[in-house]
Amino acid sequence: MSEEKLKFPDGFVWGTATAAYQIEGAWNEDGVSIWDAFTQSGGHVSDGNNGNIACDSYHRYKEDIALMKQLGVSSYRMSLSWPRIIPDPLTGEVNPKGVAYYNRVIDSLLAEGITPCVTLYHWDLPLVLEEKIGGWPKEEIIPYYVQYAEACFKAFGDRVKTWITFNEPSIFLGLGYVTGYHAPGRKDIAEKGWYACVHNVIRAHAQVYRLYQEKFKTEQKGVVGITLNTNWTEAKDPNNPEDVAASDRYLQFNLGAFAHPIYVDGDYPDALKKRLAERSQGGKSRLPEFTDAEKALVKGSADFFGLNYYTTRYVTTDNCENDPTFKGDCNFQEHTDPKWIRGQSMWLYSVPWGLRKLLKFIKTNYGSPVVYITENGFSDATGTFHDEGRIQYIPVSEDGVDIRGYYCWTLLDNFEWAEGFNERFGLFHVDITDPERKRTPKDSVKFFREVTQNNAV
Protein backbone atom coordinates (compact mmCIF):
# COMPACT_ATOMS: atom_id res chain seq x y z
CA MET A 1 0.00 0.00 0.00
CA SER A 2 1.17 3.53 -0.68
CA GLU A 3 2.18 5.71 2.26
CA GLU A 4 -0.44 8.35 1.50
CA LYS A 5 -3.79 6.67 2.08
CA LEU A 6 -6.94 7.49 0.20
CA LYS A 7 -9.68 8.35 2.68
CA PHE A 8 -13.34 7.44 2.17
CA PRO A 9 -16.29 9.58 3.32
CA ASP A 10 -17.66 9.10 6.83
CA GLY A 11 -20.48 6.57 6.77
CA PHE A 12 -19.12 4.78 3.71
CA VAL A 13 -20.43 1.21 3.76
CA TRP A 14 -17.90 -1.62 3.65
CA GLY A 15 -19.37 -5.05 3.12
CA THR A 16 -19.03 -8.46 1.62
CA ALA A 17 -21.51 -10.38 -0.49
CA THR A 18 -22.80 -13.88 -1.18
CA ALA A 19 -25.74 -15.61 -2.88
CA ALA A 20 -28.01 -18.20 -1.30
CA TYR A 21 -27.54 -21.06 -3.76
CA GLN A 22 -23.78 -20.60 -3.83
CA ILE A 23 -23.26 -20.98 -0.07
CA GLU A 24 -26.29 -22.37 1.77
CA GLY A 25 -26.54 -26.00 0.73
CA ALA A 26 -29.44 -27.77 2.48
CA TRP A 27 -31.05 -28.12 -0.93
CA ASN A 28 -33.63 -30.64 0.32
CA GLU A 29 -34.68 -28.70 3.43
CA ASP A 30 -37.25 -26.62 1.57
CA GLY A 31 -38.30 -25.99 -2.06
CA VAL A 32 -36.45 -26.96 -5.24
CA SER A 33 -34.93 -24.41 -7.61
CA ILE A 34 -33.91 -24.51 -11.26
CA TRP A 35 -30.31 -24.73 -10.10
CA ASP A 36 -31.02 -27.87 -8.07
CA ALA A 37 -32.48 -29.54 -11.15
CA PHE A 38 -29.80 -28.19 -13.49
CA THR A 39 -26.79 -29.28 -11.45
CA GLN A 40 -28.21 -32.62 -10.39
CA SER A 41 -29.05 -33.67 -13.94
CA GLY A 42 -25.33 -33.89 -14.75
CA GLY A 43 -23.11 -32.52 -17.49
CA HIS A 44 -23.62 -28.84 -16.70
CA VAL A 45 -20.89 -28.12 -14.14
CA SER A 46 -17.21 -28.23 -15.07
CA ASP A 47 -16.07 -30.14 -11.98
CA GLY A 48 -19.19 -32.31 -11.71
CA ASN A 49 -20.24 -30.76 -8.41
CA ASN A 50 -23.52 -29.17 -7.33
CA GLY A 51 -24.78 -26.86 -4.62
CA ASN A 52 -26.41 -29.55 -2.49
CA ILE A 53 -24.06 -28.75 0.39
CA ALA A 54 -21.95 -25.87 -0.99
CA CYS A 55 -20.41 -24.07 2.03
CA ASP A 56 -23.14 -25.48 4.30
CA SER A 57 -23.94 -21.95 5.41
CA TYR A 58 -27.51 -23.00 6.12
CA HIS A 59 -26.11 -24.72 9.20
CA ARG A 60 -22.95 -22.61 9.67
CA TYR A 61 -24.23 -19.05 9.26
CA LYS A 62 -23.06 -18.06 12.75
CA GLU A 63 -19.56 -19.14 11.82
CA ASP A 64 -19.80 -16.97 8.70
CA ILE A 65 -20.98 -13.97 10.71
CA ALA A 66 -17.94 -14.40 12.95
CA LEU A 67 -15.80 -14.17 9.82
CA MET A 68 -17.55 -10.93 8.88
CA LYS A 69 -16.72 -9.55 12.31
CA GLN A 70 -13.12 -10.51 11.68
CA LEU A 71 -13.23 -8.48 8.45
CA GLY A 72 -14.72 -5.47 10.21
CA VAL A 73 -17.50 -4.98 7.67
CA SER A 74 -20.59 -2.96 8.53
CA SER A 75 -22.92 -4.63 6.02
CA TYR A 76 -23.56 -8.02 4.46
CA ARG A 77 -25.18 -8.40 1.07
CA MET A 78 -27.06 -11.69 1.07
CA SER A 79 -29.81 -13.17 -1.06
CA LEU A 80 -32.99 -14.97 -0.11
CA SER A 81 -33.88 -18.27 -1.73
CA TRP A 82 -37.30 -17.86 -3.33
CA PRO A 83 -38.10 -21.61 -3.17
CA ARG A 84 -37.05 -21.68 0.49
CA ILE A 85 -39.66 -19.04 1.30
CA ILE A 86 -42.41 -20.05 -1.15
CA PRO A 87 -41.63 -23.60 -2.36
CA ASP A 88 -44.67 -23.69 -4.67
CA PRO A 89 -45.61 -20.21 -5.89
CA LEU A 90 -48.66 -21.65 -7.65
CA THR A 91 -50.22 -22.12 -4.21
CA GLY A 92 -48.61 -19.02 -2.73
CA GLU A 93 -48.12 -20.72 0.62
CA VAL A 94 -45.27 -19.22 2.64
CA ASN A 95 -42.94 -21.75 4.26
CA PRO A 96 -42.57 -20.90 8.00
CA LYS A 97 -39.37 -22.94 8.20
CA GLY A 98 -37.69 -20.91 5.46
CA VAL A 99 -38.81 -17.62 7.01
CA ALA A 100 -37.52 -18.76 10.40
CA TYR A 101 -34.11 -19.56 8.93
CA TYR A 102 -33.69 -16.09 7.43
CA ASN A 103 -35.01 -14.50 10.62
CA ARG A 104 -32.20 -16.23 12.50
CA VAL A 105 -29.61 -15.01 10.00
CA ILE A 106 -30.89 -11.41 9.99
CA ASP A 107 -31.21 -11.24 13.76
CA SER A 108 -27.73 -12.69 14.24
CA LEU A 109 -26.25 -10.13 11.84
CA LEU A 110 -27.92 -7.22 13.60
CA ALA A 111 -26.81 -8.52 16.99
CA GLU A 112 -23.22 -8.20 15.75
CA GLY A 113 -23.74 -4.72 14.35
CA ILE A 114 -23.84 -5.86 10.71
CA THR A 115 -26.61 -4.45 8.52
CA PRO A 116 -28.22 -6.82 6.00
CA CYS A 117 -28.55 -5.74 2.37
CA VAL A 118 -30.95 -8.26 0.85
CA THR A 119 -31.25 -9.39 -2.76
CA LEU A 120 -34.63 -10.89 -3.58
CA TYR A 121 -33.56 -12.76 -6.70
CA HIS A 122 -30.06 -14.14 -7.20
CA TRP A 123 -30.94 -16.70 -9.85
CA ASP A 124 -32.61 -19.54 -7.90
CA LEU A 125 -36.05 -19.57 -9.53
CA PRO A 126 -38.52 -22.08 -8.05
CA LEU A 127 -38.48 -25.06 -10.40
CA VAL A 128 -42.26 -25.16 -10.67
CA LEU A 129 -42.31 -21.70 -12.28
CA GLU A 130 -39.97 -22.87 -15.00
CA GLU A 131 -41.80 -26.12 -15.60
CA LYS A 132 -45.38 -24.90 -15.32
CA ILE A 133 -45.19 -21.23 -16.35
CA GLY A 134 -42.18 -21.19 -18.67
CA GLY A 135 -39.83 -19.01 -16.63
CA TRP A 136 -38.77 -15.46 -17.39
CA PRO A 137 -39.77 -15.45 -21.09
CA LYS A 138 -43.42 -15.54 -19.94
CA GLU A 139 -45.07 -12.44 -18.50
CA GLU A 140 -47.25 -14.71 -16.35
CA ILE A 141 -44.26 -15.02 -14.02
CA ILE A 142 -44.50 -11.37 -12.91
CA PRO A 143 -47.34 -11.68 -10.35
CA TYR A 144 -45.60 -14.64 -8.73
CA TYR A 145 -42.46 -12.57 -8.26
CA VAL A 146 -44.50 -9.72 -6.79
CA GLN A 147 -46.20 -12.20 -4.46
CA TYR A 148 -42.80 -13.42 -3.27
CA ALA A 149 -41.43 -9.90 -2.78
CA GLU A 150 -44.44 -8.90 -0.71
CA ALA A 151 -43.98 -11.95 1.51
CA CYS A 152 -40.35 -10.91 2.08
CA PHE A 153 -41.24 -7.30 2.86
CA LYS A 154 -43.82 -8.50 5.39
CA ALA A 155 -41.51 -11.02 7.03
CA PHE A 156 -38.22 -9.10 7.13
CA GLY A 157 -38.87 -5.46 6.29
CA ASP A 158 -38.98 -4.35 9.92
CA ARG A 159 -35.23 -5.10 10.05
CA VAL A 160 -34.06 -5.06 6.42
CA LYS A 161 -33.74 -1.50 5.11
CA THR A 162 -31.89 -2.06 1.83
CA TRP A 163 -33.47 -4.25 -0.85
CA ILE A 164 -32.22 -5.30 -4.28
CA THR A 165 -34.83 -6.73 -6.64
CA PHE A 166 -32.60 -8.59 -9.11
CA ASN A 167 -28.94 -9.45 -9.42
CA GLU A 168 -27.41 -9.16 -12.89
CA PRO A 169 -30.47 -9.81 -15.07
CA SER A 170 -28.40 -9.64 -18.26
CA ILE A 171 -26.41 -12.65 -17.01
CA PHE A 172 -29.16 -14.92 -15.70
CA LEU A 173 -31.28 -14.24 -18.78
CA GLY A 174 -28.47 -14.54 -21.32
CA LEU A 175 -26.77 -17.62 -19.88
CA GLY A 176 -30.00 -19.26 -18.77
CA TYR A 177 -32.19 -18.74 -21.83
CA VAL A 178 -29.90 -17.94 -24.78
CA THR A 179 -26.65 -19.90 -24.40
CA GLY A 180 -27.96 -22.56 -22.00
CA TYR A 181 -24.74 -22.36 -20.00
CA HIS A 182 -26.65 -21.68 -16.77
CA ALA A 183 -29.94 -22.91 -15.36
CA PRO A 184 -32.48 -23.62 -16.71
CA GLY A 185 -30.21 -24.51 -19.64
CA ARG A 186 -32.43 -23.30 -22.47
CA LYS A 187 -31.23 -22.18 -25.90
CA ASP A 188 -34.58 -21.76 -27.61
CA ILE A 189 -35.24 -18.04 -27.31
CA ALA A 190 -32.29 -16.49 -29.08
CA GLU A 191 -34.28 -14.54 -31.69
CA LYS A 192 -37.13 -12.94 -29.74
CA GLY A 193 -37.16 -14.37 -26.25
CA TRP A 194 -34.19 -12.45 -24.87
CA TYR A 195 -36.09 -9.22 -25.26
CA ALA A 196 -39.25 -10.70 -23.74
CA CYS A 197 -37.18 -11.77 -20.73
CA VAL A 198 -35.71 -8.29 -20.34
CA HIS A 199 -39.18 -6.75 -20.64
CA ASN A 200 -40.61 -9.04 -17.98
CA VAL A 201 -37.78 -8.48 -15.51
CA ILE A 202 -38.02 -4.69 -15.84
CA ARG A 203 -41.78 -4.74 -15.30
CA ALA A 204 -41.45 -7.15 -12.36
CA HIS A 205 -38.82 -4.90 -10.80
CA ALA A 206 -40.96 -1.80 -11.24
CA GLN A 207 -44.07 -3.43 -9.79
CA VAL A 208 -42.14 -4.54 -6.71
CA TYR A 209 -40.63 -1.08 -6.28
CA ARG A 210 -44.08 0.55 -6.44
CA LEU A 211 -45.48 -2.09 -4.08
CA TYR A 212 -42.86 -1.19 -1.49
CA GLN A 213 -43.47 2.53 -1.94
CA GLU A 214 -47.22 2.18 -1.53
CA LYS A 215 -47.50 -0.44 1.22
CA PHE A 216 -44.24 -0.57 3.18
CA LYS A 217 -42.10 2.55 2.75
CA THR A 218 -43.90 4.76 5.26
CA GLU A 219 -43.53 2.31 8.13
CA GLN A 220 -40.35 0.44 7.22
CA LYS A 221 -38.42 3.39 5.75
CA GLY A 222 -36.22 1.26 3.52
CA VAL A 223 -34.81 1.71 0.02
CA VAL A 224 -35.16 -0.48 -3.07
CA GLY A 225 -32.79 -0.73 -6.01
CA ILE A 226 -31.52 -3.17 -8.61
CA THR A 227 -28.05 -4.58 -9.29
CA LEU A 228 -26.87 -4.33 -12.90
CA ASN A 229 -23.58 -5.40 -14.39
CA THR A 230 -21.44 -4.77 -17.41
CA ASN A 231 -17.84 -4.78 -18.45
CA TRP A 232 -16.49 -1.37 -19.28
CA THR A 233 -15.79 -1.26 -23.02
CA GLU A 234 -13.77 0.91 -25.34
CA ALA A 235 -13.20 0.81 -29.09
CA LYS A 236 -10.22 -1.34 -30.00
CA ASP A 237 -9.37 1.31 -32.55
CA PRO A 238 -10.68 4.66 -31.28
CA ASN A 239 -10.18 6.12 -34.76
CA ASN A 240 -12.46 3.53 -36.35
CA PRO A 241 -16.11 4.67 -36.26
CA GLU A 242 -17.33 1.06 -36.45
CA ASP A 243 -15.36 0.10 -33.35
CA VAL A 244 -16.65 3.18 -31.53
CA ALA A 245 -20.21 2.20 -32.47
CA ALA A 246 -19.59 -1.39 -31.31
CA SER A 247 -18.42 -0.13 -27.92
CA ASP A 248 -21.58 1.92 -27.50
CA ARG A 249 -23.75 -1.05 -28.57
CA TYR A 250 -22.09 -3.21 -25.95
CA LEU A 251 -22.98 -0.79 -23.17
CA GLN A 252 -26.50 -0.17 -24.46
CA PHE A 253 -27.38 -3.86 -24.81
CA ASN A 254 -25.80 -5.02 -21.56
CA LEU A 255 -26.47 -2.04 -19.30
CA GLY A 256 -28.69 0.50 -21.05
CA ALA A 257 -31.44 -2.01 -21.80
CA PHE A 258 -32.19 -2.08 -18.06
CA ALA A 259 -30.74 1.17 -16.74
CA HIS A 260 -32.26 3.58 -19.26
CA PRO A 261 -35.89 2.58 -18.60
CA ILE A 262 -35.42 2.56 -14.82
CA TYR A 263 -33.24 5.63 -14.33
CA VAL A 264 -34.12 7.86 -17.30
CA ASP A 265 -37.52 7.83 -19.00
CA GLY A 266 -39.27 4.48 -18.61
CA ASP A 267 -38.35 3.32 -22.10
CA TYR A 268 -35.50 1.59 -23.89
CA PRO A 269 -32.60 3.71 -25.17
CA ASP A 270 -33.09 5.09 -28.67
CA ALA A 271 -29.99 3.27 -29.93
CA LEU A 272 -31.50 -0.06 -28.91
CA LYS A 273 -34.90 0.70 -30.44
CA LYS A 274 -33.31 1.87 -33.69
CA ARG A 275 -31.04 -1.16 -33.94
CA LEU A 276 -33.87 -3.64 -33.41
CA ALA A 277 -36.22 -1.83 -35.78
CA GLU A 278 -33.60 -2.06 -38.53
CA ARG A 279 -32.88 -5.74 -37.92
CA SER A 280 -36.38 -7.09 -37.32
CA GLN A 281 -38.42 -8.67 -40.09
CA GLY A 282 -42.08 -8.31 -40.98
CA GLY A 283 -42.29 -4.63 -40.16
CA LYS A 284 -42.43 -5.18 -36.38
CA SER A 285 -39.55 -4.81 -33.99
CA ARG A 286 -38.51 -7.80 -31.90
CA LEU A 287 -38.13 -5.36 -28.99
CA PRO A 288 -41.38 -5.19 -26.98
CA GLU A 289 -42.94 -1.81 -26.31
CA PHE A 290 -43.87 -0.34 -22.95
CA THR A 291 -47.34 1.14 -22.66
CA ASP A 292 -47.60 4.71 -21.39
CA ALA A 293 -48.77 3.36 -18.04
CA GLU A 294 -45.79 0.99 -17.89
CA LYS A 295 -43.38 3.80 -18.73
CA ALA A 296 -44.73 5.80 -15.81
CA LEU A 297 -44.40 2.73 -13.57
CA VAL A 298 -40.83 1.98 -14.63
CA LYS A 299 -39.39 5.50 -14.73
CA GLY A 300 -37.62 6.30 -11.47
CA SER A 301 -38.28 2.87 -9.97
CA ALA A 302 -35.03 2.68 -7.97
CA ASP A 303 -33.62 4.51 -4.97
CA PHE A 304 -30.05 3.57 -5.85
CA PHE A 305 -27.96 1.94 -8.57
CA GLY A 306 -26.31 -1.35 -7.62
CA LEU A 307 -23.28 -1.98 -9.83
CA ASN A 308 -21.33 -5.20 -10.25
CA TYR A 309 -18.02 -4.58 -11.99
CA TYR A 310 -15.30 -7.12 -12.70
CA THR A 311 -13.40 -6.34 -15.89
CA THR A 312 -12.99 -4.39 -19.14
CA ARG A 313 -12.88 -5.20 -22.85
CA TYR A 314 -11.85 -3.57 -26.09
CA VAL A 315 -14.43 -4.23 -28.78
CA THR A 316 -14.60 -4.32 -32.54
CA THR A 317 -17.09 -5.40 -35.20
CA ASP A 318 -14.66 -7.85 -36.83
CA ASN A 319 -15.88 -11.38 -37.59
CA CYS A 320 -19.20 -11.00 -35.79
CA GLU A 321 -22.39 -12.89 -36.53
CA ASN A 322 -25.12 -10.97 -38.30
CA ASP A 323 -28.09 -13.28 -37.81
CA PRO A 324 -31.38 -12.15 -36.15
CA THR A 325 -30.34 -13.17 -32.64
CA PHE A 326 -29.25 -11.26 -29.58
CA LYS A 327 -25.60 -11.87 -30.43
CA GLY A 328 -26.12 -10.75 -34.01
CA ASP A 329 -28.01 -7.67 -32.86
CA CYS A 330 -25.10 -6.71 -30.62
CA ASN A 331 -22.53 -7.41 -33.36
CA PHE A 332 -19.36 -6.94 -31.37
CA GLN A 333 -16.29 -8.98 -30.64
CA GLU A 334 -14.33 -8.66 -27.40
CA HIS A 335 -10.58 -8.27 -27.01
CA THR A 336 -8.19 -7.99 -24.08
CA ASP A 337 -4.78 -6.43 -23.51
CA PRO A 338 -1.91 -8.89 -22.93
CA LYS A 339 -0.58 -6.56 -20.23
CA TRP A 340 -3.68 -7.03 -18.08
CA ILE A 341 -3.39 -9.43 -15.13
CA ARG A 342 -5.67 -12.43 -15.63
CA GLY A 343 -7.47 -14.11 -12.76
CA GLN A 344 -8.22 -17.76 -12.22
CA SER A 345 -11.37 -17.26 -14.30
CA MET A 346 -10.69 -17.29 -18.04
CA TRP A 347 -12.82 -14.18 -18.58
CA LEU A 348 -11.48 -12.07 -15.72
CA TYR A 349 -8.73 -9.49 -16.13
CA SER A 350 -7.83 -6.88 -13.54
CA VAL A 351 -8.51 -3.47 -15.12
CA PRO A 352 -9.09 -1.02 -12.24
CA TRP A 353 -9.37 2.08 -14.43
CA GLY A 354 -12.40 0.55 -16.16
CA LEU A 355 -14.39 0.89 -12.94
CA ARG A 356 -13.77 4.61 -12.73
CA LYS A 357 -14.77 5.16 -16.35
CA LEU A 358 -17.90 3.05 -15.91
CA LEU A 359 -18.92 5.03 -12.83
CA LYS A 360 -18.54 8.28 -14.77
CA PHE A 361 -20.65 6.81 -17.59
CA ILE A 362 -23.41 5.93 -15.12
CA LYS A 363 -23.33 9.40 -13.59
CA THR A 364 -23.54 11.07 -17.00
CA ASN A 365 -26.16 8.84 -18.58
CA TYR A 366 -28.46 7.83 -15.72
CA GLY A 367 -29.14 10.97 -13.73
CA SER A 368 -26.25 10.85 -11.25
CA PRO A 369 -27.81 8.17 -9.01
CA VAL A 370 -26.64 7.01 -5.61
CA VAL A 371 -24.34 4.07 -6.39
CA TYR A 372 -23.31 1.03 -4.39
CA ILE A 373 -20.61 -1.27 -5.76
CA THR A 374 -22.57 -4.43 -4.95
CA GLU A 375 -19.94 -6.84 -6.30
CA ASN A 376 -16.29 -6.51 -7.16
CA GLY A 377 -13.69 -9.21 -6.79
CA PHE A 378 -11.00 -11.38 -8.31
CA SER A 379 -10.63 -15.15 -8.59
CA ASP A 380 -7.20 -16.35 -7.59
CA ALA A 381 -6.06 -19.89 -6.92
CA THR A 382 -3.24 -18.82 -4.59
CA GLY A 383 -5.35 -16.63 -2.31
CA THR A 384 -2.71 -13.91 -2.33
CA PHE A 385 -4.24 -11.37 -4.72
CA HIS A 386 -4.70 -7.92 -3.18
CA ASP A 387 -7.43 -5.68 -4.58
CA GLU A 388 -5.70 -2.44 -3.62
CA GLY A 389 -5.57 -1.30 -7.24
CA ARG A 390 -9.27 -1.44 -7.95
CA ILE A 391 -10.37 -0.18 -4.54
CA GLN A 392 -8.31 2.97 -5.15
CA TYR A 393 -10.77 3.91 -7.89
CA ILE A 394 -13.86 3.90 -5.71
CA PRO A 395 -13.87 7.35 -4.04
CA VAL A 396 -13.37 9.34 -7.30
CA SER A 397 -14.73 12.41 -5.53
CA GLU A 398 -13.27 14.58 -8.25
CA ASP A 399 -15.70 12.93 -10.69
CA GLY A 400 -18.73 13.78 -8.57
CA VAL A 401 -20.01 10.19 -8.45
CA ASP A 402 -22.19 9.59 -5.39
CA ILE A 403 -20.79 6.24 -4.22
CA ARG A 404 -22.07 5.15 -0.83
CA GLY A 405 -20.59 1.67 -0.38
CA TYR A 406 -18.51 -1.26 -1.61
CA TYR A 407 -19.24 -4.98 -1.26
CA CYS A 408 -16.35 -7.33 -1.91
CA TRP A 409 -17.21 -10.50 -3.82
CA THR A 410 -17.08 -12.73 -1.96
CA LEU A 411 -16.94 -13.80 1.69
CA LEU A 412 -16.29 -17.48 0.97
CA ASP A 413 -14.98 -19.66 -1.81
CA ASN A 414 -18.29 -21.03 -2.99
CA PHE A 415 -20.18 -22.88 -5.71
CA GLU A 416 -19.36 -20.71 -8.71
CA TRP A 417 -22.33 -21.77 -10.88
CA ALA A 418 -21.28 -23.73 -13.99
CA GLU A 419 -17.64 -23.66 -12.85
CA GLY A 420 -18.47 -25.46 -9.62
CA PHE A 421 -15.68 -25.09 -7.08
CA ASN A 422 -12.99 -24.60 -9.73
CA GLU A 423 -13.02 -20.82 -9.37
CA ARG A 424 -12.32 -19.21 -6.01
CA PHE A 425 -13.34 -15.62 -5.31
CA GLY A 426 -13.54 -15.87 -1.52
CA LEU A 427 -11.74 -13.88 1.11
CA PHE A 428 -11.85 -17.14 3.06
CA HIS A 429 -10.85 -20.49 1.60
CA VAL A 430 -13.42 -23.27 2.08
CA ASP A 431 -12.27 -26.90 2.07
CA ILE A 432 -15.10 -28.69 0.27
CA THR A 433 -13.44 -32.07 0.93
CA ASP A 434 -13.91 -31.51 4.66
CA PRO A 435 -17.37 -32.43 6.00
CA GLU A 436 -16.99 -29.47 8.36
CA ARG A 437 -16.30 -27.14 5.41
CA LYS A 438 -13.36 -25.58 7.23
CA ARG A 439 -12.89 -21.86 6.54
CA THR A 440 -9.36 -20.44 6.39
CA PRO A 441 -8.47 -16.76 5.88
CA LYS A 442 -6.50 -15.82 2.78
CA ASP A 443 -3.90 -13.06 2.67
CA SER A 444 -6.53 -10.68 1.32
CA VAL A 445 -8.41 -10.83 4.66
CA LYS A 446 -5.71 -8.81 6.40
CA PHE A 447 -5.67 -6.25 3.60
CA PHE A 448 -9.46 -5.85 3.52
CA ARG A 449 -9.66 -5.61 7.32
CA GLU A 450 -7.16 -2.73 7.26
CA VAL A 451 -9.31 -0.98 4.66
CA THR A 452 -12.52 -1.36 6.69
CA GLN A 453 -10.91 -0.35 9.98
CA ASN A 454 -9.19 2.74 8.57
CA ASN A 455 -11.90 3.64 6.05
CA ALA A 456 -8.99 4.22 3.74
CA VAL A 457 -6.73 2.46 1.27
- Indicate which residues carry an active-site annotation: 375
Q: Which residues of 429-443 are buried (b: 16+ CB within 10 A; e: fewer)?
A: bbebeeeebebebbe
**CA separation (Å) from 119 to 61, 164, 224?**
17, 4, 10
What is the rounded CA–CA span in Å between residue 235 and residue 120?
35
54: nearest Cα among 345, 425, 408, 421: 421
Cβ-contact 157, 61 below 8 angstroms = no
What is the rounded CA–CA span in Å between residue 167 and residue 306?
9
The set of residues, in sequence order, having a beta carbon less than 8 Å from that of 296 and lying 6+ positions away, is 266
**Stretch (H or E) spanning 163:** strand 162-167
SS3 398: helix
Cβ-contact 143, 202 below 8 angstroms = no
What is the rounded CA–CA span in Å between residue 328 and residue 342?
28
DSSP bridge pairs for 134: none
Beta strands across the sheet bearing 333-335: 232-235, 312-316, 333-335
